[in-house]
């Protein structure tokens, strides 16, 4: 009797194994998609020379331009012009894009963007500012 119970159990297990499609291969694991390539970096640099224009009572608009010489695009850009007389910092002026919003603009590789000071530059900076430095900040984004 024991042997017949064993054979019955064995036969039942074999039946379920065949019915369920038992195979020697392991179950497949869903593959994760590959990570997207890194976002190429933009690099915003001064393009050309800056100058003062539209002066009223000694205060003037400062004009300059930046160029993206990186491989990626820049967005959310802000630019500050910092003025110096020798090693002495005279002041900062926020810059904006000529004809539109600088922060909402996507700056593509090789693109040059004209800038103008948002407010006039103070007369003491216009008179005493011998050099300036543009300080851009941006977020690297995929070019679209």
Predicted model pTM:
0.75
The number of beta carbons lying within 10 Å of the beta carbon of residue 90 is 20
HEC per residue, the chain? CHHHHHHHHHHHHHHHHHHCCCCCCCCCCCCCCCCCCCCCCCCEEECCCCEEEEEECCEEEEEEEEEECCCCEEEEEEEEEEEEECCEEEEEEEEEECCCCCCCCCECCCCEEEEEECCCECHHHHHHCCEEEEEEEEEEECCC
pLDDT of res. 8: 57
CA distances from 34 to 37, 39, 128, 142 (A): 9, 15, 56, 17
pLDDT of res. 31: 83
pLDDT greater than 90 at residue 2: no
pLDDT of res. 30: 76
107-128 CB burial, b ≥16 within 10 A, e <16:
bebebebebbbeebbbeebbee
pLDDT greater than 60 at residue 116: yes
pLDDT greater than 60 at residue 105: yes
User: Are the C-beta atoms of residues 118 and 63 closer than 8 Å to each other?
Assistant: no
Question: What is the architecture, at CATH level 2, of domain 44-141?
Answer: Sandwich (2.60)
pLDDT of res. 21: 55
pLDDT of res. 84: 97
């Amino acid at each position: 009797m024991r042997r017949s119970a064993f054979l019955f159990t064995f036969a039942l297990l074999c039946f379920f194994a065949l019915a369920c499609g038992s195979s020697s291969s392991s179950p497949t694991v869903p593959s994760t998609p590959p990570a997207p390539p890194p976002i190429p970096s933009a690099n915003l640099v001064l393009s050309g020379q800056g100058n003062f224009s539209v002066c009223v009572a000694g205060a003037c608009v400062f004009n300059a331009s930046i160029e993206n010489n990186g491989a990626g695009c820049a967005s959310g850009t802000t630019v500050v012009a910092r003025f110096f007389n020798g090693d002495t910092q005279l002041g900062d002026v926020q810059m904006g894009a000529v004809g539109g919003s600088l922060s909402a603009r996507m700056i593509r590789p090789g693109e040059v963007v004209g800038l103008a000071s948002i407010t006039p530059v103070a007369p003491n900076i216009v008179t005493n500012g011998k050099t300036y430095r543009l300080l851009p900040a941006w977020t690297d984004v995929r070019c679209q």
